[in-house]
């Protein structure tokens, strides 16, 4: 791919292992509040419910159906409701501490550090384009030790729209002073990253972490970040 000079990465679950870090954070809060003892709730079942609810809410944010305030009010509240615990104060405690506590855990997706070193050595210009909250996106990069790899960091809150909307892609390219034909996006979300990039008109590598195995002609698909080296 001789023309590519700019690589745009999604952050959560593409480089920064949000699933793992969230799991560890919620487990800690669960233990602190003695949820198992008080409500006889199994943590793994609780986390599975949270993951399902949270993913759905993020899809609704992506599609413009809700805002982040709604998500932050409901993701833990609705999870506790699954177990017949109707306690807004308890849910608010989890939400309030979640965003701070998760930054104690900064595990990267396997292969992320090696890939960034590889791409940096090849003189690619690298950037972040994330649908995450502005207040935590940069801190995740800094605390995980990857911030210095990136020339620009774009979060949805700073633009006012989220992937797959074309405006956020255009904003990120403008910030990077990059052209479409010299840019590629690497991300794990089929709608936000793959379809968003395709509709905007830039190349994309789909990080298929859930083994969806999409059957789309000429689509670049990887199962592990090291496979990016086959393309770049």
Query: Per residue in 47-80, pLDDT tens?
Result: 999 999 999 999 999 888 999 899 999 999 999 9
Sign of the torsion angle spanned by Cα atoms 180, 181, 183, 186: positive
- pLDDT at residue 29 tops 90: yes
pLDDT of residue 135 exceeding 80, the answer is: no
* Helical segments of 33-85, H only: 35-39, 43-62, 68-82
| Res 168 pLDDT > 80 | yes
Mean pLDDT of 102-114: 96
- CA end-to-end span of the chain, whole Å? 6
Whole-angstrom distance, CA of residue 2 vs CA of residue 31 = 51
CATH top-level class for 6-17+108-230?
Answer: alpha beta
What share of the chain has pLDDT > 90, as a percent? 91
Return all residues near 32 (Cβ < 8 A) that are at least 6 apart. none
Q: Rounded distance, CA 197 to CA 115, Å?
A: 21
Q: What percent of the chain has pLDDT over 70?
A: 100
State yes or no: pLDDT of 222 exceeds 80.
yes
Q: Quick one: average pLDDT of 24-39?
A: 97
pLDDT at 10: 98
Mean pLDDT score, 38-42: 97
Over residues 131-157, the mean pLDDT reads 93
Give me the residue spans of the domains in the chain: 6-17+108-230, 18-104
Higher pLDDT, 26 or 134: 26
Average pLDDT, the chain: 95
Average pLDDT value for residue range 215-223 = 94
For the ranges 40-44, 53-57, 132-136, the lowest mean pLDDT is seen at 132-136
Residue 100: per-residue pLDDT: 84
Distance from C-alpha of 67 to C-alpha of 83, rounded to nearest angstrom: 25
What is the Cα–Cα distance from 119 to 122, expressed in whole angstroms? 5
**By three-state DSSP, how is residue 232 classified?**
coil
CATH class of residue range 18-104 = mainly alpha
């Amino acid at each position: 791919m001789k023309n590519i000079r700019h690589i745009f990465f999604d952050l959560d679950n593409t480089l920064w292992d949000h699933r793992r870090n969230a799991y560890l954070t919620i487990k800690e809060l669960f233990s602190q509040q003695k949820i198992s003892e008080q409500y006889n709730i199994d943590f793994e079942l609780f986390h599975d419910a949270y993951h399902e609810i949270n993913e759905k809410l993020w899809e609704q944010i992506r599609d413009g159906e809700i805002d982040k305030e709604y998500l932050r009010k409901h993701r833990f509240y609705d999870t506790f409701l699954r177990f017949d615990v109707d306690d807004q104060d308890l849910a608010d405690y989890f939400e309030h501490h979640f965003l701070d506590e998760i930054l104690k855990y900064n595990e990267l997706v396997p292969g992320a550090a090696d890939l960034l070193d590889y791409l940096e050595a090849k003189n690619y210009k690298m950037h972040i384009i994330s649908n995450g909250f502005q207040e935590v996106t940069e801190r995740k990069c800094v605390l995980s030790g990857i911030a210095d790899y990136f020339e620009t960091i774009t979060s949805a809150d700073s633009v006012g729209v989220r992937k797959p909307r074309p405006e956020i892609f255009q904003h990120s390219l403008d910030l990077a002073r990059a052209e479409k034909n010299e840019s590629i996006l690497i991300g794990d979300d089929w709608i936000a990253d793959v379809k968003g990039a395709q509709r905007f008109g830039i190349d994309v590598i789909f990080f298929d972490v859930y083994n969806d195995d999409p059957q789309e002609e000429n689509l670049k698909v990887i199962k592990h970040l090291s496979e990016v080296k086959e393309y770049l």
